[in-house]
């Protein structure tokens, strides 16, 4: 599994030949918009954790030019189905076996309205169990006890956690979340995009190291392989 970071919570997962884009926010992200164009993305699936603009801004355009299937909660799926996009609706606790692996939509504590005020259901995260690796994409969330359920589902190879604070967990809660999900390898997301979520990179890395955890911070366009 190849995971490429494009800022905020935008991730491109490549599992065998299948491309899965998570929470596309490129054209409105000053950190990403000059590095890659949304027309560069040709993907099979788009996974959306919740409806906020910094997670869905480019979903419609990329889904339309890619003929991608949008996977999200029921309300978000219906929102895009009305725009003529193929969707796969899920809801919390539900699993589906896709052609790249098994996906479970799991709880997150956050909110989920579209920029125009349309109700975007309840926010979530995804646990993806593929042949090569199991990963947890927390989405925007507070630290929650529900994270303790995840190691009962699968042994994770990577936890993708927000670390920017203010709108989501900050670094101290992310370290606790890493304990809850029983995965010491963390890819940090949802930081530096706006003033509210700027982080001190050295400080967060030092905090993770002092807890014997491995925090990965990628530049826009950088990737890791699992």
The item of Mn ion, Ni ion, none sharing an interface with residue 165, based on CB under 5 to 8 Å by kind, is none
Q: Does 140 participate in binding Mn ion (rule CB under 5 A)? A: yes
- Binders of Ni ion among residues 134 to 193 (CB under 5 A) are 140
Q: Which stretch binds Ni ion (CB under 5 A): 11-19, 31-39, 88-96, 133-141?
A: 133-141
172 SS3 class: helix
| Count of residues touching Ni ion (by CB under 5 A) | 2
Q: Which is nearer to Mn ion, 6 or 98 (CB)?
A: 6
Residue with tokens 């896709």: 98
Q: Least separation, in Å, of the C-beta of 83 and Ni ion?
A: 21
Q: Outline where DSSP puts E strands in 41-138.
A: 45-47, 69-73, 87-90, 95-98, 101-107, 124-129, 134-137
Residues contacting residue 34 through CB under 8 Å, at least 6 positions apart: none
Q: Least separation, in Å, of the C-beta of 50 and Ni ion?
A: 6
Distance of CA 162 to the CA centre of its chain: 9
Half-sphere exposure of residue 220: CA atoms within 13 angstroms, side-chain side: 21
Interface residues with Ni ion (CB under 5 A) are 52, 140
Rule CB under 5 A: which residues touch Mn ion? Answer: 54, 140
């Amino acid at each position: 599994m190849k995971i490429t970071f494009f800022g905020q919570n935008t991730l491109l997962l490549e599992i065998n030949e299948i491309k899965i884009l998570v929470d596309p926010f490129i054209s409105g992200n000053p950190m990403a918009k000059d590095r890659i164009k949304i027309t560069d993305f040709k993907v099979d699936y788009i996974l959306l954790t919740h409806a906020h603009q910094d997670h869905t801004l480019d979903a419609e355009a990329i889904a339309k030019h890619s003929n991608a299937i949008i996977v999200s909660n029921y309300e978000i799926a219906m929102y895009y189905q009305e725009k003529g996009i193929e969707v796969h609706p899920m809801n919390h606790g539900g699993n589906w076996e896709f052609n790249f692996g098994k996906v479970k939509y799991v709880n997150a504590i956050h909110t989920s309205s579209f920029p125009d005020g349309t109700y975007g259901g309840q926010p979530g995260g995804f646990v993806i169990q593929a042949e090569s690796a199991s990963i947890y994409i927390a989405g925007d969330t507070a630290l929650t006890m529900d994270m303790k359920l995840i190691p009962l589902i699968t042994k994770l190879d990577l936890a993708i956690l927000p670390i920017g604070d203010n709108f989501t967990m900050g670094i101290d809660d992310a370290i606790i979340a890493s304990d809850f999900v029983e995965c010491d390898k963390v890819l940090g997301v949802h930081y530096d995009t706006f003033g509210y979520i700027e982080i001190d990179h050295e400080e967060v890395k030092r905090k993770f190291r002092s807890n014997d955890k491995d925090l990965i911070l990628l530049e826009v366009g950088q990737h890791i392989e699992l």
